[in-house]
Amino acid sequence: LPPMAAKTVTQLPVGPGWSFEPKYDGFRALAFAGPGGVVLQSRQLRDLTPAFPDVAAAVGRLGEVVVDGELVVWRAGRFDFAALQDRLRSGRVRVRGLVAAEPAAFVVFDLLARNGKDLRDRPYGKRRRKLEKLLGGLLPDGLVLTPATTDPAVAHSWMLAHTGTGLEGVVDKRADQPYRPGVRGWQKLRTRITAEAIIGGVTGPVHTPHELILGR
């Protein structure tokens, strides 16, 4: 099942009916849990389960569900994308060591099915409420419910205050929108850090310089 995707925009949408969530520096994944066990599937439809047995075990405690989210590793005060890649390159024995040393987490942001009932046609707002109810109790270690807000000012504050953690930006979702696999129906605004500088000199040709000497 290809996950629903987001198209890049240059500003947050305005008006009622929008919800905003942080965008994380991790691996997008769908988690399928049922009587036969748990499967973690990447955006490219790759099986990620062997690399993340800790997350699979946590999802398995939710019962029969299909959830969408982001696999992350948190280390030294920020998201560590290289640690995720290391999991994929490692064999079963080394993965066990990484689970103990650098545990992963699954940041869940959508509920696609529960107890055999397909929820993809339900509006996002209703799916979100069902997800909050599902994860509203004591969460198993390794699962995190992503925050969501309808206040653009809060979304802007996430982008300004958490750039040092590796937070990539904000995802914008319509509250009345169904889940459409493989469709870029959401929006994403990436955090960009800018600064003004004065060009004091160049190396190489002026029109195609090799390097710029800048002053802040």
The closest alpha carbon to 118, from 185, 41, 179, belongs to: 179
Q: Which two tokens stand for residue 57?
A: 């075990």
* Entry field: residues in the chain: 216
Amino acid present at 201: G
The residues near 27 (Cβ < 8 Å, ≥ 6 apart) are 42, 43, 48, 70, 71, 72, 84
117 flagged as catalytic? no
Burial code (b: 16+ CB inside 10 Å, e: under 16) for 179-207 equals beeeeebbbbbeeeeeeeeeeeeeeeeee
Catalytic residue among 7, 23, 117, 173, which?
Answer: 23
The residues near 29 (Cβ < 8 Å, ≥ 6 apart) are 40, 41, 42, 43, 48, 68, 69, 70, 71, 106
The residues near 200 (Cβ < 8 Å, ≥ 6 apart) are 213, 214, 215
Catalogue the active-site residues.
23
